[in-house]
Structure 1
Amino acid sequence: MPDAPAHPLLDVLLAHGARAERMTASRVLPARTAEHADWPAWADTTVVQGYRRLGVERPWAHQALAADLLHRGRHTALATSTGSGKSLAFWLPALSAVRESSAAATLDPGNIASARTRPTTLYLSPTKALAADQLNALDRVLDAAGTRDVRVATCDGDTSREERSWVQDHADVVLTNPDFLHYALLPNHRRWSRLLKGLRYVVVDEGHAYRGVFGAHVSHVLRRLARLAERYGAERPTVVVASATSAEPAVSAARLIGVRPEDVTAVARDTSPSGRRTVVLWQPPEIASWRPPAEDAEGGTPSSMRRADPGEPDPWALPGDGVAGAGDTEVEPVAAEVPPEHPRRSATAEAADLLADLAAAGARSLAFTRSRRGAESVAQQARDHLRHAPDAAGRIAAYRGGYLPEERRELERALRTGDLLGLATTNALELGVDISGLDAVLIAGWPGTRMSLWQQAGRAGRAGADGLVAFVAREDPLDTYLVTHPEAVFDAPLEATVFDPANPHVLAPHLCAAAQEAPLRTEDLALFGDPAHVRGVLDVLVARGALRRRTSGWYWTHHQAATGLTDLRGAGGTPVRVVEHGTGRMLGTVDASSADGQVHDGAVYVHQGTTYVVNHLDLTDHTAVVQRRKLDYGTWSRSVMSVAIEGWDDDGAPGPETDATGHDLLTRQWGPVAWGLGPVEVTSQVVSFQRRRLPDMQVLGTEQLELPEHTLGTVAVWWSVPEWVLRASDITPEQTPGALHAAEHAAIGLLPLLATCDRWDLGGVSTELHPDTGEATVFVYDAYPGGAGFAERAYHLGATWLRATRDAIAACPCSDGCPACVQSPKCGSYNAPLDKDAAVRFLDAVLSHEPEPAADGAADAPGVTRPAA
């Protein structure tokens, strides 16, 4: 145990030594002194005066450097820490440009050209909340400057028609999100011609959020924006990509905006002041006894159902709390639940204790949780712990997606002003909403990436003050490994922001959208990537009738909007409104993808500590009617999941047809090992729920549900192995599920190195006897409707992929498996079962049957079977 840093609040967490054994490691990140610079000579004096009145006497050096780069028209990647004032760096040149134009028009009112070229700025953030926060910050600067000749407004899907019309005609700075740009602004570009003609700056905030397929989509949205701005006579706008946590920021920014890396300058040296930040790793204590949940009505836990850990989030919930992504959803057979040998207290219960103690000490804190349920639970338990101090208990709240916008804004205001001492939140507060002056941050459960960890940790100790961060481990092999191997947290590099704009499954619909906005010309192709590759995708679109080729270019000739061909976030449906019975008051919303599991009939819905029971879920009307009731129990839903291969004959052989999406079913043989690539249906269904008494989690009853199945039609790669191959490799029937599961995790983790995707763009399933193949099978699929090209890449690089997977597992120095090899940060089965050694033997067996390369150099390995034409 390292020496405890002398942070005044650490003693509160340690309970004056009573909880000292729970801290497994700590590290003090040193303070940083500020480096100031002079205001740039070109900066508008009125805008500078506004910043000075807000307390910014001189900018920090990185702010001045980035602002000057932007003023000179240089694309910039601004990658400094949370709370380092990145917004000043891009607002200073943007506001100064508008003020300069306004002054020129005032001094020379007859100069029509100056009025027509009034510069505009477009600000893009991944969330509406962040755009609203930036609007408030801009208003404060302009109010302090005493000028209102800069017209600033937000515009998104919630903006009324009248407000949108004013923005189109008058706004100098428009704050929005990529979704509005894709669905509304670009398709209606003629109405936005004033903004596009004067477009000087594009601000892409929280750039690290644009990864995977979402990042690839946004990269093409930005290319379409640049193309239209040029058509309206604007020079290509200068782009700044701001991110608090990013690996290779210039490379990522260049790929996002469609320029060469050498055309982007990275500003990564942070010159803002920062106090010491003490980061501790925390493992909840073992508990004296544990009673597993009662068996279900069938007398056991079905092998296709997952364990819901008492007091922890539903394992079926996707990571990111409403952010589109893939769940790592394995469905290998699982034995009936067995009590762990040394069970530990849940991370949510532990975080609630720590949050209450910090609030009692007067500290302002955030507690990040992995789910909406977890946020409500931590807040309520912390309030319960503070019943003896009602003043402090009344200053604890929850914050999550699904709250109404006005409620979220009020919570943000209360935290800023100190009216709230503690806020339990999902990752909805991970992004750059300006909340400073916090003393401590608790992180209950690994957030999935080191980028997210340090983004959340950056909320502590802002504005130069010292801060305290505690990562509280869940009872999960991954979390346990991290808190006992601090180097994996403190010393490992950040993950790369990975996405592939060349992915034809992403590129194709954006080419259609671009062609509808304005016919595509040959000179436009380079904007979307390698011209030869883009032309190849266009040829396919023409062959399929999506576009028409004319001598003057490519045209969209259909009546429907081309933007409907793609969903940027893969959100998958209309959110369900939660409405109170009797009053009709809307309490909030639940994502369509998780509504079945959260607001089914009989479910308990918690909103800021008040409990409701769902009377009825109407999926047609997208409404859940709830009634307020005081309860002593919660509900946990249970689901089943399956994967079916499309085009597979009843006799267990690949059929000759392709599916409706046009994806071929390909197979090849490596001796006894069968490989496949093709369309699959991933089906999930909520089938029942349990009522569990709180806080002891005793099962009070189980009820069956009749809810529809949800099917994701996508593309998967898979390999199947006969039982005799497993036994010959010394893999017993008991070891098989763990071997397949571990190999699947590692394969998903390695594929981004070959397919230029993000781990969250993939899903996986492993089963020792799949009904279609009749053998032990591992599936890895694209977690997007229709596929995204990743599985196809894996299929054609199968040997390289599995060899890298096998070597990564074997080379890892751990004994039983760790996050560096077979544990997954998003495993719905809590990383169990996993058998590292058996996984190596399993992959050795598969690779031992790899055929020799084809003598004629054909692209396909011997044994490839193609469907009939």
Structure 2
Amino acid sequence: MGPGELLDVLLAGGRRADRATHVRDLPARPGARADWPAWADADVVRGYRALGVERPWEHQADAADAAWSGRHTVLATSTGSGKSLAFWLPALSAVRRGAAGALLDPGRIESVQRRPTVLYLSPTKALAADQLAALERLLAAAGTRDVRVATCDGDTSRDERRWVREHADVVLTNPDFLHFALLPAHASWSRVLSSLAFVVVDECHAFRGVFGAHVALVLRRLRRLAAAYGASPVVVMASATTSDPAASAARLLGVDADDVHTVTTDASPAGRKTLVLWQPPELPGGDGPWASLLPDEDPWATVVVAPPPPDVPEGPGGADGAGSADGPADPGDPDGLAARGSGVDGPAPQPAPPTEGSGPVGTGERLVAVPQDRPRRTATAEVADLLADLVSAGARVLAFTRSRRGAESVAATTRDHLRAVDPMLPALVSSYRGGYLPEERRALEEAIRAGHLRALATTNALELGVDISGLDAVLIAGWPGTRVSLWQQAGRAGRAGAEGLVVLVAREDPLDTFLVHHPEAALDAPVEATVFDPGNPYVLAPHLCAAAAERPLRSEELDLFGPRALAVLGQLTERGILRRRSSGWYWTHAEPASRLTDLRGAGGQPVRVVESATGRLLGTVDAASADATVHPGAVYVHLGVTYVVDELHLEDGVALATRRDVDHGTWARWVTSTSVVEVEREVAWGPVTWSFGQVDVTTQVVGYQRRRIPDLQVLSTHDLDLPARTLRTAAVWWTAPPEVLERAGVTLEVAPGALHAAEHASIGLLPLLATCDRWDLGGLSTLVHPDTGHATVFVHDGHPGGAGFAERGFDLGPVWLRATRDAIAACPCATGCPACVQSPKCGNGNDPLDKAGALRLLSTVLAHAATSGTTSSV
């Protein structure tokens, strides 16, 4: 079925026509072929031809030629454009040429040459496993038996690792394994490093923010050690379509942008796509369960009312109306990345990086959820209906959700709908998410490829390059956060030149509502750049220590680590962390230097969910979200089967669960607070105080509700005694005393929305000044904060100890706030939109927001800043 026919299915003969707010046809694009390069290995070419690739696309040949000629290369083209051929063709050709010439003259020992080796790095283990399967198919089709390929990561046994070190030509792994295992033990990997010809960095757009900075420094350490062993590998990077891929790739490697060959013209064919923006209908009667006012897929999103302490005045009507502060959130952990470490014990558990919030429950204010006049159906419920219709019509579909819980919910509800149509259909639908066992994920991927499954409800685990082609449609439940993600997910429909249908279903959120009614904001704006800063001293310092531990760090090598390396090394030496000698800097401590940092900020080892009766491992949950998802009494859904958690042993990282059919789900209740630990620097702008220092962001799960499914009626409420999780980090904040609010014309009724909007806009603008990513930041706004005594806006780093972003914002205070005010003022929207004050990751549904109030408030604060002195330490 074509996209037009599938859209007719979704419109249900016109009964749903009013839900499609915008329909856009993206025209088909013809492909442009090139000849196989003369240098390409004949057997590898024969293998590709046997798999149906008669000739490469022009962009594949361009990138492969550049890599073969010794140039670092980045290929940034669309999903399904065949980027893997561009790096495997030169890499496998080099390995095969080296294997053929490994013994030039069997009678002379001096003729023995080392076989070239290849390292393949991906952000997830799932992608590495998928590439391994694809490589094995290619080599089998080529009839070659002399290329040895293996994966090696934290799950690989000691004996398997030994075989990889001694024999593998192509090693597929991830940056975590490099950081924790391969680089610290480089002597045992000398065969691989000394012969390293190519390093492949797949889906490199995923390396952004602090994680991207960590990966950039891991790659520089890898290049440094390879050079010490006499190798100079060519790095080939594959990326989604992003803004300025050459600059991002060069920053990742530590080279000039001119040293990276960039291929951005996509010569692969693309079928016609129909892209639909869709808004669920209003609920009948104008009201519904109040739970529908909250993000339906967020297990933390239960309102908790915290009484104010007696010495803190309440806002109007006994509440500040500012909304709820955010707790740990799933969007920062696509595909359960936190569970994909190296197998080496990490630092003590920390809470997940908080996202943007709007009022601190537990810090002095009551929390109020203001019902909307006409609540709409949830995006997950709507997507389940649409998915059932498409499956009934015979289509093959992926439905992307924003969380693991959402994926399970969509799959279960879809199966329920299909059961009434045909008892055979429910077996064709499954969920797919991080936390499943590797063998379960591989089985699901193969089933959807082979057609044994027609649909998967998935998190963004399948957004990256796992090869699933031939899909008819993609449903997206809620704005995925970035345009890069939107087009990556949309690219799954109609791969390999086929036609496809893509439907973005809005959540009940002002941001989503704006986008489905302003298609130009979602579909016509350029994609975002990949932003990260390897020179951030908070990230750079532990990697310099790791580099010194691997091999004494010498002055002539510092250029590789950037202009800040020398100053950071001086500080590390002064503190006694490194020791300086004439020959370089040395690590002299007994503990491994690689333990000083956690690339992903995972917050500890994952919690294993185990079936009590059998001891069978069901899956894993990140340590940071375990309190909310596998607490005693929690309903845990795994591949549509429900379990009830009996015990949670945090110290052992185990949750014990019993298989049980239940008619309810569980929603955690939590409280959060932000407290000022230390004011390190402060300046007075008249009555406004501009401050920087350390804060504690504390979250604690205090109970849960059992709600009947599907009407979400509360059945019971239960208390829990779980430990508080505290993130100590760096923050910048400013206060607005009553006279500032009054001068700005911001009344008590308007103030929560004005502060909230100013907070969102500030977070959105800081990445322009601090070279970070919005997802590296958190925030809080409150009418009265106990530690300041006034209305306060906080912006904090979302990483333990801070990452330098808030400090950069403090140093550029007036510049930052002026850019924030100007961005709000320049936006043509009337009441606020994603381009100014709405946030893609607000834990309170972007409510309340007051654009006009924020503009007046920021103007007033800046007027005071203009007459003040410079910042100073306290």
Q: TM-score if structure 2 supplies the norm length?
A: 0.93
Partner of 1:492: 525
Using the TM superposition, give the Cα deviation of residue 720 of structure 1 relative to its aligned residue in structure 2, in angstroms.
1.1
Q: Deviations over 1:661-699 (max 9, x none)?
A: xxxx11111111111111111100111111111111111
SS of alignment partner, residue 788 of structure 2: coil
Do structure 1's residue 620 and structure 2's residue 638 form an aligned pair? Answer: no
Partner of 1:105: 102
CA distance, structure 2, for counterparts of residue 480 and residue 536 of structure 1: 48
| Aligned-partner residue type, residue 791 of structure 1 | A
Using the TM superposition, give the Cα deviation of residue 613 of structure 1 relative to its aligned residue in structure 2, in angstroms.
1.0
Partner of 1:372: 404
The equivalences for 1:702-717 within 5 A come to: 702-717=717-732
Using the TM superposition, give the Cα deviation of residue 116 of structure 1 relative to its aligned residue in structure 2, in angstroms.
3.9
Residues 675/111 of structure 1: CA separation in 2 closer, same or farther (3 Å cut):
farther
Residues 785/116 of structure 1: CA separation in 2 closer, same or farther (3 Å cut):
farther
Do structure 1's residue 189 and structure 2's residue 203 form an aligned pair? Answer: no
Do structure 1's residue 733 and structure 2's residue 748 form an aligned pair? Answer: yes
Partner of 2:348: none
| Aligned-partner residue type, residue 518 of structure 1 | R
Residues 702/458 of structure 1: CA separation in 2 closer, same or farther (3 Å cut):
same
Aligned pair partner of 1:160 in 150, 157, 165: 157
Cα pair 2:329 2:354 within 8 Å, conserved:
no
Partner of 1:759: 774
Partner of 1:470: 503
Q: Deviations over 1:182-209 (max 9, x none)?
A: 0000000000001000111010000110
Residues 543/376 of structure 1: CA separation in 2 closer, same or farther (3 Å cut):
same
CA distance, structure 1, for counterparts of residue 754 and residue 203 of structure 2: 38
CA distance, structure 2, for counterparts of residue 59 and residue 319 of structure 1: 36
| Aligned-partner residue type, residue 728 of structure 1 | R
Aligned pair partner of 1:199 in 196, 217, 220: 196
Aligned pair partner of 1:252 in 244, 248, 252: 248
Using the TM superposition, give the Cα deviation of residue 728 of structure 1 relative to its aligned residue in structure 2, in angstroms.
2.2
Q: Deviations over 1:509-546 (max 9, x none)?
A: 1100000001011100001012xx21111100001111
Aligned pair partner of 1:282 in 267, 278, 285: 278
| Aligned-partner residue type, residue 401 of structure 1 | G
SS of alignment partner, residue 674 of structure 2: strand
The equivalences for 1:49-68 within 5 A come to: 49-68=46-65
Using the TM superposition, give the Cα deviation of residue 727 of structure 1 relative to its aligned residue in structure 2, in angstroms.
1.7
Residues 395/525 of structure 1: CA separation in 2 closer, same or farther (3 Å cut):
same
SS of alignment partner, residue 59 of structure 1: coil
Q: Deviations over 1:443-475 (max 9, x none)?
A: 001111111111111100001100100000000
Using the TM superposition, give the Cα deviation of residue 804 of structure 1 relative to its aligned residue in structure 2, in angstroms.
0.4
Partner of 1:360: 392
Using the TM superposition, give the Cα deviation of residue 503 of structure 1 relative to its aligned residue in structure 2, in angstroms.
0.6
CA distance, structure 1, for counterparts of residue 304 and residue 328 of structure 2: 19
SS of alignment partner, residue 14 of structure 1: helix
SS of alignment partner, residue 766 of structure 1: strand
Aligned pair partner of 1:638 in 652, 659, 669: 669
| Aligned-partner residue type, residue 250 of structure 1 | A
Using the TM superposition, give the Cα deviation of residue 9 of structure 1 relative to its aligned residue in structure 2, in angstroms.
1.0
Partner of 1:350: 382
The equivalences for 1:705-854 within 5 A come to: 705-852=720-867
Using the TM superposition, give the Cα deviation of residue 338 of structure 1 relative to its aligned residue in structure 2, in angstroms.
3.6
Say how many residue pairs are matched. Answer: 830
The equivalences for 1:378-393 within 5 A come to: 378-387=410-419, 388-393=421-426
Aligned pair partner of 1:37 in 34, 38, 41: 34
SS of alignment partner, residue 674 of structure 1: strand
Cα pair 1:306 1:315 within 8 Å, conserved:
no
Using the TM superposition, give the Cα deviation of residue 148 of structure 1 relative to its aligned residue in structure 2, in angstroms.
1.1
Cα pair 1:319 1:370 within 8 Å, conserved:
no
Cα pair 2:738 2:790 within 8 Å, conserved:
yes
Using the TM superposition, give the Cα deviation of residue 580 of structure 1 relative to its aligned residue in structure 2, in angstroms.
1.0
Bigger drift between 546-555 and 314-323 goes to 314-323
Cα pair 1:25 1:282 within 8 Å, conserved:
yes
Partner of 1:554: 585
CA distance, structure 2, for counterparts of residue 495 and residue 411 of structure 1: 31
SS of alignment partner, residue 420 of structure 1: coil
The equivalences for 1:121-520 within 5 A come to: 121-234=118-231, 236-289=232-285, 290-293=287-290, 301-302=305-306, 316-321=329-334, 322-323=336-337, 326-332=354-360, 333=365, 335-387=367-419, 388-520=421-553
Partner of 1:18: 15
CA distance, structure 2, for counterparts of residue 107 and residue 515 of structure 1: 39
| Aligned-partner residue type, residue 374 of structure 1 | G
CA distance, structure 2, for counterparts of residue 826 and residue 111 of structure 1: 65
CA distance, structure 1, for counterparts of residue 215 and residue 307 of structure 2: 40
Structure 1 vs Structure 2 CA RMSD: 2.0
Cα pair 1:315 1:828 within 8 Å, conserved:
no
CA distance, structure 2, for counterparts of residue 213 and residue 373 of structure 1: 26
Using the TM superposition, give the Cα deviation of residue 335 of structure 1 relative to its aligned residue in structure 2, in angstroms.
4.7
The equivalences for 1:568-587 within 5 A come to: 568-587=599-618
| Aligned-partner residue type, residue 481 of structure 1 | F
SS of alignment partner, residue 605 of structure 1: strand
CA distance, structure 1, for counterparts of residue 45 and residue 458 of structure 2: 35
SS of alignment partner, residue 794 of structure 2: strand
Residues 300/238 of structure 1: CA separation in 2 closer, same or farther (3 Å cut):
closer
Partner of 2:572: 541
Higher relative contact order (CA 8 A, sep 6+): 2
Using the TM superposition, give the Cα deviation of residue 111 of structure 1 relative to its aligned residue in structure 2, in angstroms.
5.9
Q: TM-score if structure 1 supplies the norm length?
A: 0.93
SS of alignment partner, residue 746 of structure 2: coil
CA distance, structure 2, for counterparts of residue 621 and residue 301 of structure 1: 32
Aligned pair partner of 2:66 in 44, 69, 75: 69
Q: Deviations over 1:195-228 (max 9, x none)?
A: 0001110100001100000000100000000000
Cα pair 2:304 2:367 within 8 Å, conserved:
no
SS of alignment partner, residue 480 of structure 2: coil
CA distance, structure 2, for counterparts of residue 338 and residue 753 of structure 1: 33
Do structure 1's residue 597 and structure 2's residue 628 form an aligned pair? Answer: yes
In the alignment, structure 2 segments of 5+ residues that lack a partner are 294-301, 309-318, 339-352
Partner of 2:313: none
Cα pair 2:531 2:771 within 8 Å, conserved:
yes
Partner of 2:75: 78
Cα pair 1:674 1:719 within 8 Å, conserved:
yes
Cα pair 1:13 1:19 within 8 Å, conserved:
yes
Residues 316/639 of structure 1: CA separation in 2 closer, same or farther (3 Å cut):
farther
Residues 113/238 of structure 1: CA separation in 2 closer, same or farther (3 Å cut):
farther
Q: Deviations over 1:556-602 (max 9, x none)?
A: 11111111111100000111111112111111011101000111111
CA distance, structure 1, for counterparts of residue 280 and residue 740 of structure 2: 42
Residues 527/442 of structure 1: CA separation in 2 closer, same or farther (3 Å cut):
same
CA distance, structure 2, for counterparts of residue 315 and residue 791 of structure 1: 20
Residues 318/138 of structure 1: CA separation in 2 closer, same or farther (3 Å cut):
closer
Cα pair 1:314 1:636 within 8 Å, conserved:
no
Cα pair 1:320 1:427 within 8 Å, conserved:
no
CA distance, structure 2, for counterparts of residue 830 and residue 334 of structure 1: 17
CA distance, structure 1, for counterparts of residue 111 and residue 530 of structure 2: 40
Cα pair 2:685 2:868 within 8 Å, conserved:
no
| Aligned-partner residue type, residue 181 of structure 1 | L
In the alignment, structure 1 segments of 5+ residues that lack a partner are 648-653, 655-664, 855-859
Bigger drift between 471-480 and 575-584 goes to 575-584
SS of alignment partner, residue 102 of structure 2: helix
Using the TM superposition, give the Cα deviation of residue 320 of structure 1 relative to its aligned residue in structure 2, in angstroms.
4.1
CA distance, structure 1, for counterparts of residue 237 and residue 59 of structure 2: 14
Cα pair 2:552 2:586 within 8 Å, conserved:
yes
| Aligned-partner residue type, residue 275 of structure 1 | G
